[in-house]
Chains A and B, each alone.
Chain A
């Protein structure tokens, strides 16, 4: 059996990725998480003295707190298998990546285990977020200095 024959068999038998179904599930669950987040923002605006500008921080913290509970009881994994990006893309998914790694490496101690591995999944998000912010602000500064745009 040569490579081509095998590739043909492999492609015929492997079930195709259900793109539409997956995207729909991601849309629904992701939308739902954002709607819950939206309700939380109203909660903080109405009952505390947060404004629309500042409410993002407590909302994200609350969502990550809920994510911690769901992660610790093993529910976030189940949601993730169903929703895919729907539960990975919201900030709760970032929390899940950090928290699951922290729990997982508890057995190697708090310094090398939890400390060393907490960001092994989510670290790239911080790396690219901060680096990208640096580059974007630098480009904007150059453009402003050249007089192309204004702040």
Chain B
């Protein structure tokens, strides 16, 4: 389903924060704050995740010169069971809150709903975004942090990061969201939780082709089409899927992936970064900055999410995936 936003809601402000290992990220200089402690000086990982969300939102409000009473809606999610870190952070932010889960695609799905509420006139300012914390995600989906299991080269590294945006009425000085595509759930029968890129690539392909088709655009209409966390191998698979359907090399160079680039060429992160905070922190810092600096005029941000749980994986189910896209322009 492709949505055209007539009022073109704008991203008034944005904030990205990250954990200690994210110093190694190539996007490090774009982050607003990097904390030394993975747990954000809290007792548990989950509290740390909540604190990270709070801090990102505080920075966001400060940048926009607002306080939390000005916020109409808080739309966010994370990867922990029942999204408790976001729930606890929402308690502090004290705006009307809906928790959203699209796994790692929450960064974009939350923005889409914020834009809809803005277009409807129901929201003057809405905070939208997502976060992930490495330790709390890893212990839930895979193994304890200190367990020495060998990960294959296709595995990705969940980042500790959060990215949040403030969505408001159209403002020509800010990047604006002109259209969005809410993705379907796509499942090509992949079952390996250490190879999520391959599972998510078809979802990204489906969403991107639908968006281009409905908008009567070609790949070249964009300065960059950036997927969320396909990783190095997933991005190659996506590019090959477009190559098979007739995209030229020049067009393929427009495709980028936040997860594949996040940690640069560091081999110890295997296929690259993943997690809801990966796409959120890159989109809402680096990409928005490029738009503001005038380097990009039109970008398509396609956050991908694999909708598995430890339960479904153990029960032998496949990994259903989704991808949501927003088309962001700068006048």
Binds A, one of B168-176, B233-241, B284-292: B233-241
* A72 near B198: Cβ-Cβ < 8 Å: no
In the complex, the chain B residue whose C-beta lies closest to that of A103 is B146
* B45 near A12: Cβ-Cβ < 8 Å: no
Given contacts A76-B146, A83-B150, A104-B144, 6 further A-B contacts (CB under 8 A): A3-B189, A13-B233, A17-B152, A71-B146, A87-B148, A96-B147
* B240 near A79: Cβ-Cβ < 8 Å: no
In the assembly, what is the distance between CA of A41 and CA of B245, in Å? 64
Contact with A along B70-82 (1 / 0, CB 8 A): 0000000000000
Does A129 have its Cβ within 8 Å of any Cβ on chain B? no
With A6-B188, A107-B44 as given contacts, are A84 and B147 in contact (CB-CB < 8 Å)? no
Contact with B along A46-90 (1 / 0, CB 8 A): 000000000000000000000000011010111111111101100
Closest Cβ of chain B to A81, distance in Å, is 6
The total of Cβ contacts below 8 Å across the A-B interface reads: 94
In the complex, chain A residues whose CB is within 8 Å of the CB of B147: 77, 80, 96-97, 100-101, 104, 121
- Tell me what chain B mostly uses at the interface: helix, strand, loop, or mixed: loop
In the complex, chain B residues whose CB is within 8 Å of the CB of A105: 144
* B148 near A79: Cβ-Cβ < 8 Å: yes
Does B205 have its Cβ within 8 Å of any Cβ on chain A? yes
Does B145 have its Cβ within 8 Å of any Cβ on chain A? yes
**B43, B188, B190, B245 — most chain A CB neighbours (10 Å):** B188
In the assembly, what is the distance between CA of A80 and CA of B236, in Å? 28
* B149 near A88: Cβ-Cβ < 8 Å: yes
In the complex, the chain B residue whose C-beta lies closest to that of A11 is B198
* B145 near A77: Cβ-Cβ < 8 Å: yes
In the complex, chain A residues whose CB is within 8 Å of the CB of B44: 107
6 A–B contacts from the bound complex (CB under 8 Å): A13-B233, A76-B146, A78-B148, A103-B145, A104-B144, A121-B144
In the assembly, what is the distance between CA of A82 and CA of B152, in Å? 10
* A1 near B202: Cβ-Cβ < 8 Å: yes
